[in-house]
Structure 1
Amino acid sequence: MLKTPLITAIALGSAALAGTGHAQAADLTISCGAVGAELTLCEEGVRAWEEQTGHEVDIVSTPNSSTERLSLYQQILSANSSDIDVMQIDVVWPGLLANHLLDLREALGDEAGEGHFPAIVENNTVDGRLVAMPWFTDAGVLYYRKDLLEKYGFEAPATWAELTEIAREIKAAEREAGNERMHGFVFQGRAYEGLTVNALEWVASHGGGALVEPDGEISINNPRAAAALDLAASWVGDIAPDGVLNYTEEEARGVFQGGNAVFMRNWPYAWSLAQSEGSEVRDKVGVTQLPAGGDGQGDAASG
């Protein structure tokens, strides 16, 4: 498994809260994503806060692209703006944003991190300062059309090679049957953080190691990593559409949920949306772990 836990976190901007006293006595603005668990948890938390404190919380919707969201946060924080008080951040951002964030142990007490996984608290601690608290976690998974696999006599794939062959065969059969929009596999292929996560999963599942090992050795230049990336590149224009190179999570979900893909790599948030009323694939979807590569084992990033 990938060793670094990628946990969505909540952080408090120091400029935003400067001069407000205790957070419990202030009306606040919180930033959240616009879909899935991010927005649901945000709305639930806001309602609980308002009911308990009598103070108001405004929700600011931010871009779903993690790269675009980070850029927005950096602009706001660099300008010393008070537009957002509480920020939903990715687990890999604490080091980048730490200078602009409150030390939560100073704000909430020395025991602020208790009750959470120590590794996550350590991840969110920069130069001895706890700059973010864990909010929720999930992991990359493989969605598949269980109705189509059953129709053509397949089980969920255990390896990427199996996925490739199954996707190719079902895509061809469904197109021959009249669905010219059917694709075999969709994933996050745009040049942003999501593609990096997908690539790490492919490499790790092939036993290709990490980009940089714990001892600092740069290990990505190895045959297994190369094989993983070569395989992924071969999907584009074959089992995956050319347009996958511009897909984030939502573009991939749109194609899959519209009934036009056999497999999809995405996060758990897509499950409830795929099963929602009006979804073209409602009650037709299965979920399993991401496939293994070669003689490796399936690997998923947590998010």
Structure 2
Amino acid sequence: MTRPSSRRRWWAGLLTALAGAATGTLRAEALKISCGAVGQELELCQQAAQQWARKTGHTVQVVATPNDASERLALFQQVLAARSDRIDVFQVDVVWPGLLASHLLDLRPYSQGIEQTHFASFVANNTVRGRLVAMPWLANAGLLFYRKDLLQKYGERVPLTWDELTATARRVMEAERAAGHARLWGYVWQGRAYEGLSCNALEWLASHGAGTVVAADGRVTVRNAHAAAALKTAASWVGSITPKAVLNYAEEEARGVFQAGNAVFMRNWPYAWAPAQGAESVIRGKVGVAALPGGAGGRPSATLGGESLAVSRYSRYPALAADLVLYLTSADVQKQRALVGAYNPTLPALYRDADIARSAPFIAELADTFTNAVARPTAATGRRYNQVSNQFWNAAHDVLAGTATPDEALVRLEATLQRLGRNGKWN
């Protein structure tokens, strides 16, 4: 994580680098974009931004940002709270539109309806009180990774429900342990008390038909029988098919267990595919990917993740900045990003693209997952989403740790969210 001193250095560097805009070093129509952080993500952003610059005759400066997402958000909030025009275009995480909406430009007057070609769930996530405050750029969603070789060995199919996953994981785990693989677990996921647990728990609830904690109209809906059943199922995994250590797992801890060959199933984001297939991976060629299971009476639900591009309301060139955003999120640029970096597009049509299907067949199989992805309640809760998520993951963690029953945790969670909201509603 970036230290406070690093944040101060970054902030000082940003002001120094951009000071030239006020002294004439840069052309008057120069735009500043903060996108990516390191490696290929930053490189592809720079390349596409320069393509736009050559096409339009304008200048684009890519502003470096800290690697850590929390540090990036804190810095973006500082820049926007100061109503600064030092950055025109921001790359924003999927949970940030609601937090930053009051500082972001409505893109609908510039988009000519192009947002309708993106995944509807992503557009809904980026629409706050009727304003399209960010354009989808990179899709992400929770997925089920599984050991193809072990399912084949025991004649098991990919589970379609959580009950099937529980039974299959237990059968394979017990059989393998009896054969000498004592460290094998059935299912690993993200159980630490942090945003990753909110993502997992939201998938459990939504797939059981339990809603999304706070509904789109602002009603607190988390206390219901379906939610209690979902949490009860998840708690039953801990210590049986899932190690108790999962209560401290984030994405990398879960991936480490799975990639070491010590789990049958794993819930994670698409990024876990590449390292699992790496040259030094002990499970290379043995991994399959599928949609997450559904609950009884529900359907498979994956929490929506990803990145978007937004324009600051304080930009001196809003129309120009919006044009840059629309170019970077266009089909041509997203296709190039998919071909070169295996980044998941936000345009359903690209999941049928023949070039992408040949170079990255894994991407082509994800369209349904993104179409049905469930968004976190950021639009309904706005700048207070972090409070909601914090209370949600703590309630889920209490159930998983056995310090509260699902009913007890949901009663307390409902009361807390009602108190934090306005007369029981969030908008």
TM-score between the two structures when normalised by the length of structure 2:
0.56
Q: Larger C-alpha radius of gyration, 1 or 2?
A: 2
Partner of 1:257: 259
Q: Percent identity?
A: 54
Q: Which of 24, 31, 35 is the equivalent residue of 1:30?
A: 35
Partner of 1:91: 94
Q: Which of 220, 223, 241 is the equivalent residue of 1:221?
A: 223
Higher helix share: 2
- Is the contact made by 1:142 and 1:287 (CA closer than 8 Å) also made in structure 2? yes
Distance 1:273 1:188 in 2: 18
Root-mean-square deviation over aligned CA pairs = 3.5
Partner of 2:203: 201
- Is the contact made by 1:171 and 1:184 (CA closer than 8 Å) also made in structure 2? yes
| 1:29-58 CA-partner distances (Å, limit 9, x unpaired) | 5344x6xxxx64442121233466486635
Counterpart of 2:252, as a letter, is: E
| 1:262-297 CA-partner distances (Å, limit 9, x unpaired) | 111112222223222222221101111111112322
Q: Does 1:191 align with 2:210?
A: no
TM-score between the two structures when normalised by the length of structure 1:
0.76
Partner of 1:48: 48
Distance 1:241 1:85, change over 3 A: farther
Partner of 1:276: 278
Distance 1:56 1:157 in 2: 48
Q: Does 1:289 align with 2:309?
A: no
Partner of 1:148: 150
For residues 38-77 of structure 1, the aligned pairs below 5 Å read 40-50=40-50, 53=53, 57=62, 59-63=64-68, 70-71=73-74, 73-74=76-77
Distance 2:180 2:75 in 1: 44
SS in 2 for 1:227: helix
Unpaired segments of 5 or more residues in structure 2?
1-14, 54-58, 306-427
Unpaired segments of 5 or more residues in structure 1?
1-14
Distance 1:24 1:149, change over 3 A: farther
Distance 2:28 2:204 in 1: 42
Partner of 1:160: 162
Partner of 1:10: none
Distance 1:76 1:232, change over 3 A: farther
Distance 1:113 1:40, change over 3 A: farther
Distance 1:269 1:135 in 2: 16
Distance 1:68 1:251 in 2: 22
Partner of 1:12: none
SS in 2 for 1:232: helix
Distance 2:42 2:261 in 1: 29
SS in 1 for 2:173: helix
- Is the contact made by 2:205 and 2:226 (CA closer than 8 Å) also made in structure 1? yes
Partner of 2:358: none
